[in-house]
Amino acid sequence: MEILLLAIYSFFAWLVFFKFKWLPWNIVSQVITVTIPVIGLTATILLLNIVAPSSHDVRVINYVVPINSPVRGLVVEVPIEPNTPIKKGDVLFKIDPVPYEIAVSNNQADVLSLREQLKSSQAGDVITTTKLGLARKRLGQFTELAGTGAGNKFDQEQAETDVLNLQGELDASAANEDGIRAKIASAEAQLASARWELSQTTIYAPANGTVIALTLRPGAMAVTLPVTPAMNFVEDEQWIIAIYHQNEVRKIKPDQEAEVAFEMYPGRIVKCKVDSIMWATAQGQLPIGSMNAAGGVAPIPPQCLAVRLLKDAKDKDLFLASGAHGAGAVYTDSGHAIQIIRKVMVRITAKLNWLILKMH
């Protein structure tokens, strides 16, 4: 753009001094002619960098989710294809479920066995309770007879012993049933864990996206170590971030207009809106407490801040590859008249993207 403006200025200077010779071409006119474009272009660029700051580092970033298997096992099926769109909930891969089905069956058998033991013990309690009621009734009768002298003291003592024995049996049975209930609770917890592990033998897509480099094949062993994910899932959700020096963002606010010329779409201007400024970057964090010095969605150059952009409705469905690069500008709320120069510069950049500058 600067070259174009200089070319236009040079053309008019040629008309004035050489074609029509309206002014003499001497030392004074030469100094003035050279000084005007230098001052003018400098002032224009400085003002543009305030009211319509540009960035030559606009990036497209996607969330990448490492897919780790929650359970260990042999991979038996990988129904997806690499670099192919995947919907949320689609099956990514399956692990051999047989060992986990066996574990579920074993735990179910343990729970059923313990429940049967509890039922048997409770049935015995009913019989023992009936006997205890009869024993207490006899004790009352023998006690009454012994009190009148018509009964045998030995029969009374024997009835008292029978009541105590039956009551002891009930107390022991109650303690045993409490132990069985505790075992049932533990067995049910183990059964729930086994069922959960069985459900984790089928891994589903967490969102819409793709798996770019798919190396997992049937026959491989899936492990639970997070350092060795089974695959990396690239979500469709994207961030468009423009990198600015810190003194360039003072007038940038949410909802302001922005334009980006991506190299993958030569000649096209992608309309955007400012979403927010990322005020926290990795270089602004100290490794104290739980703060992570490597935080952030992407490495930001030192002394720079990132501005997140959102595509307008017109370009909402435009495909942008993860890692796409471009240049663009944000148009602030002031200096609207001069912003036309920045818009022309962005469009020139878009046209220059048609050039493929290599010698082979």
The stretch 182-204 carries a mean pLDDT of 95
Angle formed at CA 320 by CA 315 and CA 325, multiple of 5 degrees:
110
Find out whether 305 and 277 touch, Cβ atoms under 8 Å.
yes
Q: Please write the tens of the pLDDT for every residue from 92-130.
A: 999 999 999 999 999 999 999 999 998 988 888 888 888
Neighbours of 151 (CB within 10 A): 15
Q: Which residues contact 118 (CB under 8 A, 6 or more apart)?
A: 177, 180, 181, 184
Give the C-alpha separation, 115 to 2, whole Å. Answer: 86
- The C-alpha atoms of residue 208 and residue 145 are separated, in whole angstroms, by 88
The CATH number corresponding to 99-199 among 1.10.3470, 3.40.720, 1.10.760, 1.20.120 equals 1.20.120
User: Domain ranges in the chain?
Assistant: 1-51, 52-63+235-360, 69-95+208-222, 99-199
What's the CA gap between 63 and 297, in Å, rounded? Answer: 8
Summary count for the chain: helices (H), strands (E): 5, 11
- Asked, colleague to colleague, whether 52-63+235-360 and 99-199 share their fold, the answer is no
What is the amino acid identity at position 336? H
Contact predicate 20/282, CB 8 Å: no
Residue matched to tokens 């309309």 = 271
If one compares 292 and 337, the residue with the highest pLDDT of the two is 337
Nearest to 320 by CA among 54, 81, 61: 61
CATH 3.90.1200.10 at 52-63+235-360, yes or no: no
pLDDT in tens, 45-82: 889 999 999 999 999 999 899 998 999 999 999 999 99
